């Protein structure tokens, strides 16, 4: 049986069970064999349909960006650990206030572009400094005496393949959520859904070729050639190589999303193809 949009199903469950206590409502959402568990299982059985839609959507985006003369770095990665993004998202936010980034139109979890851009820009700033970070992602570049807008942007990352489903339940038990003394603690399990390990995701890094050429022209006119050599940013090829290096580090070493310090959000980069 094919279920309706899972986000709509979640909203229906909320409305139908709005008078339940918090604990009873958690049972409805998370109990094995329960009402919503069945909907999750049915959703998992039709993920090939969802992933094909995601692929088609990304292909459309890529074609559109290319029509605007953008340079595309097409990235495919695979989750090595569980992934949790945008915990303020309305999907699954009730009852424990831990949501999961969800696209209600495509009916799929995703990794927000803002989290990808934030992670990659942070790694670049940490390893290479603020100048390169601002050159690529916008900011005040003192050496150029200009304030730049972003040269590189990202799309959301959408699941495009998995042999073991998309979602699974997770539980964490904060011990000192309300008190500091161990003998006064009353651990309360917090339940939420995450993206499973073994899920392939795809996203696009989009480079503004027109903006890049404008920056190169300005740097040549104002004799800022030293910057070109220092940061190796004199061509689109070099920009693609920089992005490859730091996307890989962000995804494989630093992690993407929430709870990365606890081992969440680790990926393996599978492919990065630059379409110039």
Q: What is the pLDDT of residues 198-212, one digit of tens each?
A: 999 999 999 999 999
Query: Which whole number is the average pLDDT over 163-174?
Result: 88
Q: How confident is the model at residue 276 (pLDDT cuts 50, 70, 90)?
A: confident
Phi-psi region of 85 (alpha: psi -120 to 50; beta: other; left: phi over 0): beta
Write down the pLDDT at residue 250: 98
Query: Which whole number is the average pLDDT over 11-38?
Result: 91
Is the model more confident about 111 or about 144?
111
Write down the pLDDT at residue 146: 64
Query: Which whole number is the average pLDDT over 97-118?
Result: 97
Residue 178 has pLDDT above 80, yes or no: no
Q: Degrees (nearest 5) of the Cα angle 251, 255, 258?
A: 135
Query: Which whole number is the average pLDDT over 7-28?
Result: 92
Each residue's pLDDT tens digit, 72-97: 999 999 999 999 999 999 999 999 99
What is the percent of the chain with per-residue pLDDT over 70, rounded to a whole number?
Answer: 90
Residue 179 has pLDDT above 60, yes or no: no
Each residue's pLDDT tens digit, 119-164: 999 999 999 998 899 889 988 766 666 667 899 999 999 999 997 8
Is the model more confident about 222 or about 192?
192
Write down the pLDDT at residue 183: 56
Q: How confident is the model at residue 8 (pLDDT cuts 50, 70, 90)?
A: very high
């Amino acid at each position: 049986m094919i279920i309706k949009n899972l986000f709509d199903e979640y909203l229906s469950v909320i409305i139908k069970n709005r008078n339940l206590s918090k604990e009873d409502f958690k049972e409805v959402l998370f109990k094995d064999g329960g009402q919503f568990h069945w909907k999750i299982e049915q959703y998992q059985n039709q993920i090939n349909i969802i992933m094909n839609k995601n692929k088609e959507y990304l292909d459309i985006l890529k074609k559109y960006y290319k029509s605007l003369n953008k340079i595309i770095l097409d990235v495919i990665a695979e989750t090595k650990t569980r992934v949790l993004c945008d915990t303020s998202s309305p999907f699954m936010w009730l009852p424990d206030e831990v949501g999961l980034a969800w696209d209600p139109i495509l009916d799929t979890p995703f990794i927000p572009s803002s989290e990808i851009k934030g992670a990659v820009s942070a790694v670049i700033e940490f390893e290479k400094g603020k100048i390169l970070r601002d050159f690529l992602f916008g900011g005040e570049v003192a050496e150029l005496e200009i304030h730049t807008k972003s040269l590189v942007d990202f799309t959301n990352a959408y699941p495009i393949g998995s042999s073991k489903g998309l979602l699974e339940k997770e539980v964490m038990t904060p011990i000192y959520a309300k008190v500091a003394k161990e003998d006064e603690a009353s651990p309360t399990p917090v339940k939420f859904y995450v993206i499973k390990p073994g899920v392939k995701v795809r996203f696009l890094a989009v480079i503004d070729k027109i903006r890049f050429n404008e920056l190169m022209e300005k740097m040549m006119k104002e004799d800022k050639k030293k910057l070109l050599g220092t940061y190796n940013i004199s061509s689109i090829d070099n920009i693609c190589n920089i992005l490859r290096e730091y996307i890989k580090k962000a995804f494989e070493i630093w992690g993407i999303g929430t709870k990365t310090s606890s081992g969440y959000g680790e990926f393996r980069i599978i492919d990065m193809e630059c379409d110039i």
